[in-house]
Structure 1
Amino acid sequence: MTIARTRPFGQRYAFVVVGVIFLALLISSGLRSAPSVMMLPLEEAFGWRRDTISSAAAIGIFLYGLAGPFAAAFMERFGLRRTLMGALLLMSGSTLLSLGMTQPWQLIATWGIMSGIGTGAVATVLGATIVNRWFKTNRGLVMGLMSASSATGLLVFLPVLAMLAQSGGWRPVAIAVAIAAAALLPLVYLLVPERPASIGLTRYGADADEVSPAPATGNFLLNTLSTLGKAARTRVFWYLFATFFVCGFTTNGLVGTHLIAFCGDMGIPEVQAAGLLALMGIFDLIGTTLSGWLTDRFDPRKLLFVYYGVRGLSLMYLPYSGFSVASLTIFAVLYGLDWIATVPPTLRLSNEAFGDRSGPLVFGWIVAGHQVGAACAAFFGGFMREIQGNYEIAFLIAGVTGLLAAVISMLIEPRQPQAATPLPA
Structure 2
Amino acid sequence: MSAPLPAGRARMMLLRGFLCQNVAIGCAFGSFGVALIPLQEKFGVGRGLASLGIALAVMMMGLAAPLAAPLINRIGLRAMMVGGIVMSAAGYVLLALASNIGMVLFAYAVPIGLGLVGFGPLPSTVLAGNWFRSNPGPAAGLVNMPVLMVLVPLVTLPLIREGGLSGLYLALAALHVALLPFAFGIVDAPEDEVAGTAAIRSVPGHHNDNGTGLGTGGAVSATTMLGQPLFWGIVLGSGILHAVGIIASSHLVAFGIERGIAAGQASLLAAVMGGASVVGAFGSGLLCARLGGGRALALIAAGTATGWMALFLTQSLWPMALGSLVIGAGGAAVFPAISVLAGERFGARSLTRALGLFGLATLPMNFGLPPLAGVLRDMVGSYDPVVLVIVAACIGVAALYFAISRVPVRLAPTLA
TM-score in same-fold range (> 0.5): yes
Query: 1:110-149 residue pairs with structure 2 within 5 A?
Result: 110-149=107-146
Query: 1:80-99 residue pairs with structure 2 within 5 A?
Result: 80-99=77-96
1:257 maps onto 2:250 in alignment: yes
Equivalent residue for 2:232, pick from 234, 238, 242? 238
Equivalent residue for 1:26, pick from 22, 29, 48? 22
Is the partner of 1:121 in helix, strand or coil? helix
In 2, the alpha carbon distance for the partners of 1:167 and 1:264 equals 20
In 2, the alpha carbon distance for the partners of 1:229 and 1:13 equals 41
In 1, the alpha carbon distance for the partners of 2:107 and 2:322 equals 36
Equivalent residue for 2:269, pick from 276, 280, 284? 276
In 2, the alpha carbon distance for the partners of 1:263 and 1:416 equals 46
Deviates more, 1:226-235 or 1:94-103: 226-235
Is the partner of 1:171 in helix, strand or coil? helix
Quote the offset at 1:62 in angstroms: 1.5
Distance change in 2, residues 1:408/1:124 (3 Å) = farther
Letter in 2 for 1:181: H
Quote the offset at 1:195 in angstroms: 2.4
1:66 maps onto 2:58 in alignment: no
Is the partner of 1:184 in helix, strand or coil? helix
In 1, the alpha carbon distance for the partners of 2:194 and 2:58 equals 38
Quote the offset at 1:197 in angstroms: 2.8
Maintained 8 Å contact 2:261/2:317: no
Deviation sequence 1:245-270 (CA, Å, 0-9, x none)? 01212112x11001111112223232
Deviation sequence 1:219-244 (CA, Å, 0-9, x none)? xxxxxxx9644532334432332221
Maintained 8 Å contact 1:142/1:292: no
Quote the offset at 1:140 in angstroms: 3.1
Query: Hey, what does 2:104 align to over in structure 1?
Result: 107
Deviates more, 1:370-379 or 1:19-28: 370-379
Quote the offset at 1:89 in angstroms: 1.0
Query: Hey, what does 1:381 align to over in structure 2?
Result: 373
Query: 1:306-317 residue pairs with structure 2 within 5 A?
Result: 306-317=299-310
Size of the aligned set, in residue pairs, is 391
Maintained 8 Å contact 1:304/1:406: yes
Deviation sequence 1:288-309 (CA, Å, 0-9, x none)? 3122233344422211111111
Letter in 1 for 2:181: P
Gaps of 5+ in 1: 1-6, 207-225
Quote the offset at 1:160 in angstroms: 0.9
Maintained 8 Å contact 2:244/2:370: no
Query: Hey, what does 1:221 align to over in structure 2?
Result: none
Maintained 8 Å contact 2:269/2:320: yes
Letter in 2 for 1:103: N
Maintained 8 Å contact 2:221/2:414: no
Quote the offset at 1:199 in angstroms: 7.5
Letter in 2 for 1:66: L
In 2, the alpha carbon distance for the partners of 1:238 and 1:174 equals 38
Maintained 8 Å contact 2:20/2:179: yes
Is the partner of 2:184 in helix, strand or coil? helix
Maintained 8 Å contact 2:60/2:114: yes
Deviation sequence 1:110-131 (CA, Å, 0-9, x none)? 1233211221333333344335
Query: 1:41-80 residue pairs with structure 2 within 5 A?
Result: 41-80=38-77
1:35 maps onto 2:32 in alignment: yes
In 2, the alpha carbon distance for the partners of 1:119 and 1:266 equals 32
Equivalent residue for 1:164, pick from 149, 159, 162? 159
Name the Cα RMSD after superposition.
3.0
Quote the offset at 1:167 in angstroms: 3.3
Is the partner of 1:342 in helix, strand or coil? helix
Maintained 8 Å contact 1:60/1:112: yes
Give identity over the alignment, percent: 22
Maintained 8 Å contact 2:53/2:108: yes
Query: Hey, what does 1:339 align to over in structure 2?
Result: 331
In 2, the alpha carbon distance for the partners of 1:184 and 1:131 equals 17
Deviation sequence 1:137-168 (CA, Å, 0-9, x none)? 4333233223322xx22102111112212333
Which of the two has greater helix per residue? 2
Letter in 2 for 1:23: L
In 2, the alpha carbon distance for the partners of 1:73 and 1:185 equals 23
In 2, the alpha carbon distance for the partners of 1:416 and 1:123 equals 34
Query: Hey, what does 2:178 align to over in structure 1?
Result: 183
Is the partner of 1:194 in helix, strand or coil? coil
Equivalent residue for 2:318, pick from 323, 326, 351? 326
Maintained 8 Å contact 2:92/2:172: yes
Deviates more, 1:257-266 or 1:276-285: 276-285
TM-score, normalised to structure 1, is 0.82
Equivalent residue for 1:198, pick from 173, 192, 201? 192
Distance change in 2, residues 1:263/1:59 (3 Å) = same
Query: 1:367-406 residue pairs with structure 2 within 5 A?
Result: 367-369=359-361, 372-406=364-398
In 1, the alpha carbon distance for the partners of 2:255 and 2:53 equals 18
TM-score, normalised to structure 2, is 0.84
Letter in 1 for 2:339: L
